[in-house]
Structure 1
Amino acid sequence: MTDTVPLTFRGDLDVPEGLPRGIDLGRIANADKAIGMFGRPLVETVTDHALLADDYAYRAMLDFKDKSNSMNWRTFDTAIEHGLDALDDVTPAVAALFEQMETVPDWVDFDQLYRGAVAFWRAGMIVQPILAWGTIAGGFSMYSATRPVLFSGRLRKADKVGTRLIESFRYVVAAYTPGGMQRFGEGFRLTAKVRMIHAAVRHSLSRSDAWDWADWGIPINNMDSMVTQAGQFGVKFTDAVQASGFRFSDRELDDIFALSRYVGYVIGVPPEILHTGYDDARRKTELHTMLELPPDDLCRDVVESVIRYSIENPPGGVEVLPGPIAKIMTNERRLKLAYGLLHEWLPADVMAALGAEKTAWSRLLPTARPLIRVADRIQRTLPHDDEKAAFTLLRNFNDAIAVPDGDTKHEVASPDEVGADISANKGGMPVVSGR
Structure 2
Amino acid sequence: MDAASITGARNWEAVRERHPEAVAGLEDGLVRSDDLADAVIAQMHQRGVAWPRLLDMVATGAEEPDTLPALADLLRSASECPAWFDPALAEAGARAWWRFGTLQSSTLYQSLIYGYKAQGFVRPLAATGRLGEGTLERVQNTARWVAEATAPGSMRPGAAGWVATIRIRLLHALIRDHLLVDRSGSGVAWDVDAWGVPINQTYSALTISGGFLVLPLMIGRDLGIRYSSAEREAITHLWRRIGAVIGVDDDRLPGDFAAARTLFTIAAEFELEPDEVSKQLTRALLRDGYDLQNAIPLPGPVVSAMGLVIKPVLSTSFSAISTRWVEESAVGGLGLRRTPLHHLVDVARPAVRLREVLRATGVLGSERAVVRRELRTVRRGLGLPPVDAEALTQPG
Please give the TM-score of this superposition, normalised by the length of structure 1: 0.77
- Confirm or deny: 8 A CA contact 2:272 2:330 kept in the other structure: no
CA distance in 2, matches of 1:137, 1:198: 19
* Structure 2 partner of 1:429: none
Range 345-354 or range 234-243, more displaced: 345-354
1:206 aligned to 2:180?
A: yes
- Indicate the SS of the match to 1:77: helix
Superposition CA RMSD, Å: 2.7
- Confirm or deny: 8 A CA contact 1:118 1:178 kept in the other structure: yes
CA distance in 1, matches of 2:65, 2:86: 32
1:141 aligned to 2:120?
A: no
- Confirm or deny: 8 A CA contact 1:341 1:362 kept in the other structure: yes
Deviation, 1:351, is: 2.1
- Indicate the SS of the match to 1:354: coil
**Aligned residue identity for 1:110:** P
Structure 2 vs 1, CA of residues 64 and 372 (structure 1 numbering), >3 Å: closer, same or farther? same
* Structure 2 partner of 1:397: 378
Q: What number of residue pairs does the alignment pair up?
A: 368
CA distance in 2, matches of 1:338, 1:124: 19
CA distance in 2, matches of 1:67, 1:379: 58
Deviation, 1:129, is: 2.7
CA distance in 1, matches of 2:203, 2:91: 26
Structure 2: gaps of 5 or more residues: 183-187, 297-305, 386-396
Structure 1 ranges of 4+ moved more than 6 A: none
* Structure 1 partner of 2:81: 104
Structure 2 vs 1, CA of residues 185 and 275 (structure 1 numbering), >3 Å: closer, same or farther? same
1:44 aligned to 2:18?
A: no
Query: C-alpha deviations, 1:169-221, integer Å up to 9, x for none?
Result: 11111111111111121100010001000001001111463744333201110
- Confirm or deny: 8 A CA contact 1:261 1:274 kept in the other structure: yes
Deviation, 1:118, is: 2.0
Give 2:141's match in structure 1, choosing from 167, 187, 193.
167
Please give the TM-score of this superposition, normalised by the length of structure 2: 0.84
Give 1:186's match in structure 2, choosing from 160, 166, 185.
160
CA distance in 1, matches of 2:68, 2:154: 28
Deviation, 1:395, is: 2.0
Structure 2 vs 1, CA of residues 212 and 26 (structure 1 numbering), >3 Å: closer, same or farther? farther
CA distance in 2, matches of 1:143, 1:367: 34
* Structure 1 partner of 2:11: 30
Identity of aligned residues (%): 24
Give 2:44's match in structure 1, choosing from 57, 64, 77.
64
Deviation, 1:227, is: 0.8
Query: C-alpha deviations, 1:255-287, integer Å up to 9, x for none?
Result: 111011001000110122122121111122223
Deviation, 1:167, is: 1.4
Give 2:267's match in structure 1, choosing from 278, 288, 304.
288
Give 1:176's match in structure 2, choosing from 150, 156, 167.
150
* Structure 1 partner of 2:58: 80
- Confirm or deny: 8 A CA contact 1:226 1:273 kept in the other structure: yes
* Structure 2 partner of 1:255: 234
* Structure 1 partner of 2:283: 304
- Confirm or deny: 8 A CA contact 1:143 1:292 kept in the other structure: no
Structure 2 vs 1, CA of residues 28 and 333 (structure 1 numbering), >3 Å: closer, same or farther? closer
1:210-229 equivalent positions in 2, closer than 5 A: 211-229=190-208
- Indicate the SS of the match to 1:303: helix
